[in-house]
Amino acid sequence: MRKVLVFSLFLFALAFCYAQQPQEEKKTARVVLYKQGLGYVEKYVNVEGDASIELIFDEKDIPDVLNSLVVVDLGGGVVTNIGYESKTPREKLLSEVLGGRDVAGLVGILTLFKGAQAVFQTAGAEIQGRIAGVEEYQKNKEQKSWRVTVMRDNGNIETFDIFDITSFKLSDELLQKDLQKYLKLYSEVFRKEQKKIVINTKGQGKRQVFIAYTLELPVWKTTHRFVLRGNKALCQSWAVVDNTTMEEWKDVNMTLVCGVPVTFQYDIYSPLFTLRQKISPTQSVAAPVEKPEEPYVSEEEGRVGAPGAPMAQKEDTMALRKKAWGDKENEDSEKSFALKEPAPGARAALAMEKLASSVQSAIATATVGDYFIYNIAHKVSVGSKSSAMIPIVNKDMTSRKVAYWKYGSGLVSPYQAVEITNETGLVLDAGPVTLFEEGNYLGNAMMNRLQKGEKTLLLYALDQSLKVSDEWGKETTSAYLAVARDGYMVIKRWRIGQMKFKIENTADEERLLILDYPKASGWDVLNDKSTYTEKDNYLRFEIKAAAKKTTEFELKLRRDDSQTFYLYNLSDKDIIFFFNERWINDKQKEQLMEIVKIRSQMYTTQQQMSQTQQQIRDIFDDQTRLRENIKTLTGDGVAEREMRNSYVTKFKEQETKLAQLREQLSGLQAKLNELSAKLSDYISRIVFENTLEK
């Protein structure tokens, strides 16, 4: 919302800073066109005394006008109100007239107003009475008609043919007005495209009323011509404007604005209706009479602005007036401030103060963002529903002809191009370009917005005398740093890549080729920095292609890669490889080999633990078998007793063996824990950093 206010204040301040001399009545004095499909219009209207000013707009423009309309009575008068035709849907308006019933011809009207007093003029006489009804009847064999029945004031019933009626009028003025309103609403269907706004002012004598508003207008466009002459190019730029309004712009001051204001459509024109709940009255028993309590103060009555609450005081605008006119001390000067030389922005401040007195409202000033403005020096005329081309630039600038090729474009031949430098002192807006040289047409190009002093390339044709090819060379790697720390070893390497270009020039003269190569994330350029520039996301090289030769150009790129090793998992082969690659020295090799040695001891211990655990599992399995066998020996014979004793003896021997194995396993586990702690501590103390030869 703040941005919208800022933009509105910009329009208003712009209006008063460029206020013109009195114009003829309702003549458009100034038009400002924007790139967002918006137009700003100023008018000056001469009035005398109390006056009404009528403005006609297309219905689609009414919301924008109502949202932005500024009216200032410059002669001390006030704007009493601004009226406009409602956009209440016709169905709703019709529903409020004649009960929403449809009227279809004279028969329908007479039927609708059955019972109403009316006066009929017929070919023979005047008939006055109440309409009793209309009925169809067979007038003759070939024709049907309608018979009107009327009760006269004396009670007599009289009938006559409907085609005998030459005119009729309802006696009740209210009903007659409803009928007129009904027919008027239907007639507005034929002119729904146009709406009227009426500005009512009150004042004395002859004076001027300033009117400004915004409305939807086509985006103004820019088209450029460049005439090449050696190392110079004549730039001629035109603005294309379209007047789609119903009014002619004759001898107006025109301003073209390049900027990005916040604009949107907000329909303040259409009335809004809401659905409300319908509640039927209910019958209930009357409540007993009680003694009233103390008065209840509702929440609404306690709010600021409720009945009885003091009104907020209006902010005094005198400080704004004093600031605008540069008067900081003498309050008496307020009476004669119009005679002083205005301070910067004073006219806008004064206009804002007049605005406040004219429409009884207050606004705040704000700072405007970046805009570039073309103020057309001469008067401009554009007819209604017409378009025009307006010259905005006609100056020389520095230029040079080059060839242009972009990597990844898929083209073999580069473009013919001209590099221009914007030395016009103006911002050149984006648009199509047509190029000429020595009276010949060269081609068309598209130009982005060009700031003051900025350079750009205009590509207008393919250069068939040049051919560009590219080839990605074999990548090489080179380790430059080995670092061991925190249980890891990191090897940092350079990846070197080479992009080779060949430029074949079949022309008889040397050509200058501008080559753009996209910047790759993580890659550094090894070429001399003086040989290229950076443009947007591209590296730009300038290469001289000798005549009748093939010129080679090499782009060298480098990126930083790394490989990480977990010291705990190193094998002796890995360590030997590191040593052979000269990443580590003899001492560091021995340090790393100690890791392999300790881990080998841990492996041996783990194998012994596995064997011991297997022996324990075997004994458990055999004891299970012995228990099952003992359960089957239930007899009391000598053989069974001997076998049972044999099983029990073996079971006891196994229990002794199990105790020994468990003790052995516990010892191995303690040894493994000791080796693991030793290895972790040893690895944590391995720290080195080796700078490697390139």
Residue 277 pLDDT > 90: no
Torsion angles phi and psi, residue 519, rounded to 5? -70, 125
pLDDT tens, position by position, 464-519: 999 999 998 888 888 889 999 999 999 999 999 899 999 999 999 999 999 999 98
Residue 339 pLDDT > 60: no
Q: Are residues 559 and 548 in the same domain?
A: yes
Distance from C-alpha of 76 to C-alpha of 208, rounded to nearest angstrom: 9
pLDDT tens, position by position, 415-442: 999 999 999 888 899 999 999 998 899 9
Among residues 539, 569, 599, the one where a domain terminates is: 569
Pick from 202, 255, 197, 210: nearest CA to 27: 210
pLDDT of residue 281: 74
What the block records as the tokens of 370 is 């970046």
Type of residue numbered 59: E
Interval 16-38 mean pLDDT: 68
How many domains does one find in the chain? 3
Q: Are residues 595 and 532 in the same domain?
A: no
The confidence band for 302, taking pLDDT boundaries of 50, 70 and 90, is very low
Structure-token match 């009323």, residue found? 209
Per the CB < 8 A criterion, the answer to whether 389 and 239 are in contact is yes
Q: Are residues 547 and 579 in the same domain?
A: no
3-state secondary structure at position 15: helix
Local structure of residue 514 (DSSP, 8 states): E
The confidence band for 639, taking pLDDT boundaries of 50, 70 and 90, is confident
What is the extent of the structural domain holding 535? 470-569
Q: Are residues 556 and 584 in the same domain?
A: no
Say how many C-beta atoms besides its own lie within 10 A of residue 456's C-beta: 19
Residue 137 in any domain: the answer is yes
Distance from C-alpha of 557 to C-alpha of 520, rounded to nearest angstrom: 9
Give first-to-last CA distance, the chain, whole Å. Answer: 61
pLDDT of residue 467: 95
The confidence band for 310, taking pLDDT boundaries of 50, 70 and 90, is very low
Where residue 132 sits, what CATH number does that domain have?
2.30.30.520
Per the CB < 8 A criterion, the answer to whether 426 and 256 are in contact is no
pLDDT tens, position by position, 538-587: 999 999 999 999 999 999 999 989 999 999 999 999 999 999 989 999 99
What's the CA dihedral at 183, 184, 188, 190 to 10 degrees? 50
Q: Are residues 501 and 593 in the same domain?
A: no
Q: At what angle do helices 586-632 and 572-580 cross, to 10 degrees?
A: 170
Among residues 177, 208, 228, the one where a domain terminates is: 177
What the block records as the tokens of 564 is 């990480």
The confidence band for 191, taking pLDDT boundaries of 50, 70 and 90, is low
Residue 166 in any domain: the answer is yes
Residue 492 in any domain: the answer is yes
Interval 261-288 mean pLDDT: 72
Among residues 515, 540, 569, the one where a domain terminates is: 569
Residue 161 in any domain: the answer is yes
pLDDT of residue 182: 73
Q: Are residues 554 and 578 in the same domain?
A: no
The confidence band for 459, taking pLDDT boundaries of 50, 70 and 90, is very high
The confidence band for 23, taking pLDDT boundaries of 50, 70 and 90, is very low
Distance from C-alpha of 552 to C-alpha of 473, rounded to nearest angstrom: 13
What the block records as the tokens of 535 is 């443009």
pLDDT of residue 189: 57
Residue 314 in any domain: the answer is no
Residue 338 pLDDT > 60: no
Per the CB < 8 A criterion, the answer to whether 500 and 470 are in contact is yes
Distance from C-alpha of 304 to C-alpha of 409, rounded to nearest angstrom: 68
Local structure of residue 162 (DSSP, 8 states): G
Q: Are residues 518 and 585 in the same domain?
A: no
pLDDT of residue 321: 39
Distance from C-alpha of 504 to C-alpha of 510, rounded to nearest angstrom: 11
Report the chain's mean pLDDT, rounded to a whole number.
80
Which residues, 6+ apart, have CB-to-CB distance to 241 below 8 Å? 33, 218, 220, 254, 256, 380, 382, 387, 388, 390
Distances (CA, A) of 43 to 15, 200, 212, 314: 10, 15, 6, 30
Interval 71-99 mean pLDDT: 74
In terms of pLDDT, which residue wins out, 328 or 690? 690
The confidence band for 283, taking pLDDT boundaries of 50, 70 and 90, is low
Long-range pairs, 183-188, Cβ under 8 A, ≥24: 183/103, 185/90, 185/93, 185/94, 185/97, 186/90, 188/90
Residue 110 pLDDT > 60: yes
Q: What does 605-648 look like in DSSP terms, one character per residue?
A: HHHHHHHHHHHHHHHHHHHHHHHHHHHH----SHHHHHHHHHHH
Residue 505 in any domain: the answer is yes
Residue 27 in any domain: the answer is no
Q: Are residues 626 and 685 in the same domain?
A: yes
Residue 368 in any domain: the answer is no
The confidence band for 25, taking pLDDT boundaries of 50, 70 and 90, is low
Q: Are residues 582 and 609 in the same domain?
A: yes
pLDDT of residue 96: 52
Q: Are residues 527 and 614 in the same domain?
A: no
Q: Are residues 515 and 607 in the same domain?
A: no
Q: What sign does the dihedral 431-437-440-443 (CA atoms) show?
A: negative
pLDDT of residue 355: 37
Q: Are residues 583 and 670 in the same domain?
A: yes
pLDDT of residue 533: 92
Where residue 644 sits, what CATH number does that domain have?
1.10.287
pLDDT of residue 9: 40
Please list the residues that pair with 543 across neighbouring strands: 513
Interval 360-382 mean pLDDT: 61
Residue 333 pLDDT > 70: no
Distance from C-alpha of 337 to C-alpha of 325, rounded to nearest angstrom: 7
- What percent of the chain shows pLDDT beyond 90? 41
**For the ranges 263-267, 354-358, 646-650, which has the lowest average pLDDT?**
354-358
